[in-house]
A = this chain, B = another copy of it.
């Protein structure tokens, strides 16, 4: 019987099919990481934390946000092991987990400063 594959690509190709050689687990981890930092409010939090650890109140005050809002954002970042927390009396201080995340962010921010917003502009 002939199965109707609706639209599922299945035909002659100009080049042989090249299956991804990347580790699926790494791909998943990387995508999760990118997704977590792919949000302006969260990325801003990280940019703040890049200057040193800070407690939730500080971060909330600096961004004029509600505590619960900031707390939720930090939760997302913590779930991906991007930040860690440490209790200090009544306060809970957050900081970036490791240098590689710091590097990644600054690297991207640096490149982002170079390239104009996104559309048009053409190039050089």
Residue numbers of A with Cβ under 8 A of B are: 6-11, 13-15, 17-23, 25-40, 42-44, 47-48, 51-52, 54-58, 60-68, 70, 79-81, 88, 91, 100, 104-105, 107-113, 115, 117-119
Contacts and interface: CB of A to CB of B under 8 A. Distances in A.
Q: Give the number of times this chain occurs in the complex, counting copies.
A: 2
Residue from A22, A68, A70, A115 with most neighbouring chain B CB atoms (10 Å): A22
A68 B9 CA distance: 10
A20 B44 contact: yes
Chain A interface main SS type: helix
Contacts of A14: 55, 58, 88, 91
Given A9-B60, A22-B109, 20 more contacts: A8-B64, A9-B66, A13-B61, A18-B58, A20-B47, A20-B48, A20-B63, A23-B109, A26-B113, A27-B47, A30-B108, A31-B37, A31-B38, A31-B43, A32-B118, A33-B108, A33-B112, A34-B34, A35-B39, A37-B38
